[in-house]
Amino acid sequence: DAGVIQSPRHEVTEMGQEVTLRCKPISGHNSLFWYRQTMMRGLELLIYFNNNVPIDDSGMPEDRFSAKMPNASFSTLKIQPSEPRDSAVYFCASGTEAFFGQGTRLTVV
């Protein structure tokens, strides 16, 4: 099993651009989580899905953020338009015990 796969590993974009982060969960896992980590705020839960349905998106910071899970093997987190304060490491995790991917380091300049 390859584990949770996130892409890209690194992303540098200009302010105002759209950014899409991708996640492939572990096969058979019903739960999927998106987290954001910064030095100031630590690990923040943004949203989680169960059986492809968003259960709790109260952690999504604002309307510029959106997440989808069109099927059991794929999820996206989109930021449009991006801002410098969105710079962080974004993690995806799957399964009841939340197995994490390696993260996407996003830098918005």
**Tokens describing residue 87:** 């710079």
Q: Least Å distance between CB 15 and other proteins?
A: 25
Residue 19 contacts residue 80 (beta carbons within 8 Å):
yes
Asked if residue 30 binds other proteins (CB under 8 A), the reply is yes
Which residue among 43, 73, 85, 109 contacts other proteins (CB under 8 A)?
Answer: 43
Q: Which residue has the tokens 């892409």?
A: 7
Asked if residue 91 binds other proteins (CB under 8 A), the reply is yes
Asked if residue 45 binds other proteins (CB under 8 A), the reply is yes
**Tokens describing residue 23:** 């996640």
Query: From CA 18, how far away is CA 12, in angstroms rounded?
Result: 11
Asked if residue 101 binds other proteins (CB under 8 A), the reply is yes
Asked if residue 97 binds other proteins (CB under 8 A), the reply is yes
